[in-house]
Each structure stands twice: as C-alpha cells, then as structure tokens.
C-alpha cells in the first residue's frame, strides 16, 4: 500500500466524503479543525483551503496548508500545517494538527502522516516544529515521540485541560 499526502482536489472528493461522514457518525471532535469545513460542497471546500494557504484569512489567524493522507482509493487522514505560530498556537495549537479516520486508527498511519507532514513543514521553512496533544491523548503523544518530539513545558488552558507540547527539529 502506498501512502502519500495530497493537496485536496475533486478527484479525491468522494473518498473525502466517506472519511468525513465516518468521522461525523463517530460523534468525536473533528481534529484537525479543518475537517468540518464545507463538507457538502467541494468548490467551497477547495476555495477555503486555497484562501487559508494564501493568507486570505481572518485577523489574528495564520496561513495554513491542508493535506489528505491517501492510499490507492481512500482518504485515511487529514493534516493541517500552520506556516508560523501566533501566541495561541505557541501555547496550545502548534504547527501541525492531524487526525486519522476512526476505522483506520491503531495501524501506524498517524506516525507516517506526521512524518510526511514534517517534511512539508520543512519545505515551508519551519526549522523547529511544535506539535501538541491533549494530556489524555496517549496515542498522539506516542506518535509525536516516534517522530522525534522533545517535551516542552505543558500548557494549561482556561478550562484546566493540560496540553502537552513537543518540539521536533527539521
């Protein structure tokens, strides 16, 4: 099986819809946040991704690029790479957010997707990549550590949630 990160396009749209609806049915929080954007209209979805990549974004946001992790026929995961950090992202969001569809978890895909995303981040000129996860997300912590994550100070948000922070050298 060949896995690759692809920029979202119409050729993968039905596979993306399958990914989206599976996640939606799980009732889990959609991570990264871009998963929930315009799932019923491919043109709006692609325009949204293009706007965010080019920096046509709300004030206080940063440009970002989204990729889909695909095999020969399926969208397995989504990764979102922020081009630089603002104060919020430095505390709790990091450079990279990623998620694997529920039926494909625990198969090593997240580790591969983060590895591929780190290469994309390096192409964007990011020399040190911040990746974060909620303290209770043990699987994500393992993925980050497998990709060379070095623990930084944790961040505690206003609700008392602990966010683990890790730096990964390019």
Q: Is residue 134 one of the residues assigned to a domain?
A: no
User: What average pLDDT score do residues 143-168 get?
Assistant: 97
Report the domain count for the chain: 1
Q: Is residue 83 one of the residues assigned to a domain?
A: yes
HEC assignment per residue over the chain? CCCEEECCCHHHHHHHHHHHHHHHHHCCCCCCHHHHCCCCCHHHHHHHHHHHHHCCCCCCCCCEEEEEEECCCCEEEEEEEECCCCHHHHHHHCCEEEEECHHHCCCCHHHHHHHHHHHHHHHCCCCEEEEEEECCCHHHHHHHHHCCCEECCCEECCCCCEEEEEEEEC
| Total-model pTM | 0.95
**8 Å CB contact between 18 and 74:** yes
pLDDT band at residue 38 using 50, 70 and 90 as cut-offs: low
86-96 tens-digit pLDDT: 999 999 999 99
Q: Is residue 51 one of the residues assigned to a domain?
A: yes
> CATH number for the domain including 30?
3.40.630.30
Residue 97 has pLDDT above 80, yes or no: yes
Q: What is the pLDDT of residue 9?
A: 94
Mean pLDDT value across the chain: 95
Name which of 8, 15, 7, 5 is nearest 113 in CA terms.
Answer: 5
123-152 tens-digit pLDDT: 999 999 999 999 999 999 999 999 999 999
Q: What is the pLDDT of residue 155?
A: 96
Q: Is residue 90 one of the residues assigned to a domain?
A: yes
Q: Is residue 70 one of the residues assigned to a domain?
A: yes
- What is the radius of gyration, based on Cα positions, of the chain? 15
pLDDT band at residue 37 using 50, 70 and 90 as cut-offs: confident
**8 Å CB contact between 42 and 15:** no
User: What average pLDDT score do residues 56-74 get?
Assistant: 96
Q: Is residue 88 one of the residues assigned to a domain?
A: yes
Task: State the residue range of the domain holding 82.
Answer: 4-128
Q: Is residue 139 one of the residues assigned to a domain?
A: no
């Amino acid at each position: 099986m060949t896995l690759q990160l692809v920029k979202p396009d119409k050729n993968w749209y039905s596979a993306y819809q399958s990914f989206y609806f599976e996640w939606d049915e799980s009732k889990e929080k959609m991570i990264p946040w871009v998963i929930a954007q315009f799932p019923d209209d491919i043109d709006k979805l692609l325009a949204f991704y293009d706007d965010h990549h080019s920096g046509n974004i709300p004030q206080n946001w940063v440009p970002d690029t989204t990729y889909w992790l695909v095999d020969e026929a399926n969208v397995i995961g989504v990764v979102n790479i922020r081009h630089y950090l603002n104060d919020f992202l430095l505390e709790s969001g990091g450079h990279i957010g990623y998620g694997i569809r529920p039926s494909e978890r625990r198969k090593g895909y997240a580790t591969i997707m983060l590895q591929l995303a780190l290469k994309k981040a390096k192409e964007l000129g990011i020399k040190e990549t911040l990746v974060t996860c909620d303290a209770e997300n043990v699987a994500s912590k393992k993925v980050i550590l497998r990709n060379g994550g070095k623990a930084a100070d944790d961040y505690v948000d206003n609700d008392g949630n602990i966010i683990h922070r890790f730096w990964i050298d390019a």
